């Protein structure tokens, strides 16, 4: 699950990112409203954690613009404003939930999970491609009905490939979607995990992950 955090208070953002990562989420962070809005529009996230008071634009404006563009990205607002009217305003503009600062981190996690559990028509719960099926909620992967045990990173990588079947994805695109924006580890990490995945998929015969020289990888559905 990949979250976007728009929050200008750096110390709060950093502690949230650390905690969210420990809970298994991939997190991108923008301290600036407009940049965050751009990221929300152009990249696939599962949920947006949005601060209300930002230096450039307000959380409300971000929600309004996203909803105007038919984005169905789930949004949780963080607000220091305790007044009921702001909460109502946020929810009516299209936010899914809110938390008032200061909040308990465990409550934040519980609310994020509750939002992600909601049956929402736009979030496909299961991706099926040929014999391959990925359950996005339980993270269960099956090939022709046989369960494939994957590590969390292998799963994330396969999910990104499975969302774009037969489409070539560059190492950078894979790194950005399955890891996170600011990943600064060794650059061949994608190749390493592709190898792990291939070895596991090989046991079941398909699907294959093809290398497209000079470009990247794709989930190959041809037999």
Q: Binding residues for Ca ion, per CB under 5 A?
A: 8, 51, 53
Q: How far apart are CA 203 and CA 199, in angstroms?
A: 7
Half-sphere exposure of 191 (CA within 13 A, CB side): 8
Q: How far apart are CA 167 and CA 13, in angstroms?
A: 34
**Smallest separation (angstroms) from Ca ion to the CB of 187:** 34
In the complex with Ca ion, which residue's Cβ is closer, 44 or 55? Answer: 55
Range list of H helices, the chain? 10-22, 33-42, 59-68, 84-93, 105-117, 152-163, 171-178, 189-204
**Smallest separation (angstroms) from Ca ion to the CB of 100:** 13
**Smallest separation (angstroms) from Ca ion to the CB of 76:** 15
Q: Are the C-beta atoms of residues 127 and 165 closer than 8 Å to each other?
A: no
**Which residue lies nearest Ca ion, judged by its C-beta?**
53
In the complex with Ca ion, which residue's Cβ is closer, 7 or 176? Answer: 7
In the complex with Ca ion, which residue's Cβ is closer, 64 or 173? Answer: 64
**Smallest separation (angstroms) from Ca ion to the CB of 89:** 16
In the complex with Ca ion, which residue's Cβ is closer, 53 or 99? Answer: 53
């Amino acid at each position: 699950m990949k979250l976007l955090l728009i929050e200008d208070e750096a110390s709060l953002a950093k502690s949230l990112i650390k905690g969210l990562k420990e809970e298994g989420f991939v997190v991108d962070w923008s301290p600036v409203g407009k940049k965050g809005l751009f990221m929300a529009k152009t990249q696939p996230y599962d949920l947006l954690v949005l601060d209300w008071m930002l230096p450039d634009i307000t959380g409300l404006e971000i929600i309004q613009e996203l909803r105007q563009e038919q984005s169905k990205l789930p949004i949780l607002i963080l607000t220091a404003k305790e007044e009921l009217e702001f909460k109502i305003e946020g929810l009516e503009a299209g936010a899914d939930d809110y938390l008032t600062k200061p909040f308990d981190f465990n409550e934040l996690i519980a609310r994020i999970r509750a939002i992600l559990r909601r049956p929402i028509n736009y979030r496909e719960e299961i991706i099926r491609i040929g014999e391959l099926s990925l359950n996005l909620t339980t993270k269960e992967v099956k090939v022709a009905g046989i369960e494939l045990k994957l590590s969390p990173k292998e799963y994330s990588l396969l999910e990104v490939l499975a969302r774009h079947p037969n489409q070539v994805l560059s190492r950078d695109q894979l790194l950005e979607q399955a890891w996170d924006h600011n990943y600064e580890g060794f650059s061949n990490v994608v190749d390493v995990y592709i190898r792990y995945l291939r070895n596991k998929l090989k046991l079941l015969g398909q699907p294959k992950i093809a290398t497209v020289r000079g470009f990247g990888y794709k989930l190959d559905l041809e037999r």
